[in-house]
Amino acid sequence: MFDKLVTTGGRILVECLGLAASETLLVVSDGTRPEICAALVEAGRKLGAESILMEMAPRQRSGEEPPAVVADAMRLVDVVVCPTLHSLTHTQARKDAVKAGARMATMPGITLDMFEHGPITADYAEVERLTQRVADILTGGRHVRVEKDGAVFECSIAGRCGIPSTGIYREPGQSGNLPSGEAYIAPVEGSGEGELIVDGSMVGLGLLNSPLRLVVENGLLVEAEGDRAGEWLEKLGDSREARNVAELGIGTNPKARLTGVILEDEKAYGTIHVAFGSNATFGGTVQAGVHLDGVIRKPTVYVDGQLLLKDGEPVI
């Protein structure tokens, strides 16, 4: 079993991150995924890289910063991989590391099954092509409209850049999730209006048995209705920053499944996700210390009046 994990880890390090024998690899652990972390460290050593494992306490929620000593180490190595419970993707530590030239892959919520199957097995050349295409459309757009089961949500993306998370991070300063396959953007703060029907999964809740109805006014979440809505709101927090509409993302990985783990769910082809909280690390202005996503199945999406998704099917 461990040998198979090491083989998968080696393929990820070479094909996705371009790790070379002369480089330094840092695996950031929170103690929740010891087998995966150990396999990545061993794979790095087999490739001839200097492989380092740092373990911190689990963060309380996605978007919470790691300890300063971990953040410092992230800036000083060539490649960083983070198989953790909660996401380090939208942290200042990640932003500083890639600014320093690190190539970085975050794996929040990664499972042993996901490490070997599902989205990790995708044709990443095809994922990269589709993801870049969607990101370019978002970058060139000014206005987004989302329709789902009679609910309508609109926001401005004018002046913001679409970000491709392709799963290929071989150049200095590139980063994203692994497994991956999404294009996302930070909507203009204060511009979001309308209702969202989240019927796939929610960070902190997993797969949803019944949908949540979210109401947004002036770019802020003002109401959440449905089973477990109160539980989710407690995890999100009630500050103005936490209630900010932080992200609109579109899944581009045909191999991704809805499993209840957001790392995979938000990559699923035919879905979009909307997150609340921080967006300062990818083009926005809000730092909330939290970033929670909700996945919407089979939405219809328009960018500047042009159809991008029709009931979840890409029209590009």
CB 281 within 8 A of CB 95: yes
Question: How high is the pLDDT of residue 116?
Answer: 86
Mean pLDDT, rounded, of the chain: 96
Query: Closest Cα to residue 115, out of 48, 37, 184?
Result: 37
pLDDT score for 128 = 92
Q: What percentage of the chain has pLDDT greater than the value 90?
A: 95
Looking at per-residue pLDDT, the higher value among 122 and 147 belongs to 147
125 pLDDT band, cuts 50/70/90, is confident
Q: What is the DSSP string of 247-283?
A: EEEEE-BTT----S-HHHHTTBTTEEEEEEE--GGGT
Sketch out the chain's domains with CATH numbers.
2-116 (3.40.1830.10), 122-314 (no CATH)
Model confidence at 181: pLDDT above 90 = yes
What confidence score (pLDDT) does residue 154 get?
98
Across 123-150, average pLDDT: 96
| Residue 111: pLDDT over 80 | yes
Helix (H) or strand (E) holding 37: helix 34-46
Examine the pLDDT at 48 and tell me if it is beyond 80: yes
Residue 226 confidence (pLDDT) above 80: yes
Q: How far is CA 81 from CA 3, 36, 115, 174, in A?
A: 19, 11, 13, 12
pLDDT given for residue 70 in this prediction: 98
Q: pLDDT digit string (tens) for 235-249?
A: 999 999 999 999 999
* pLDDT of 316 above 80: no
More confident residue, 46 or 124: 46
pLDDT reading at 93 higher than 80 = yes
**Mean pLDDT calculated for residue range 192-202:** 98
pLDDT at 286 over 80: yes
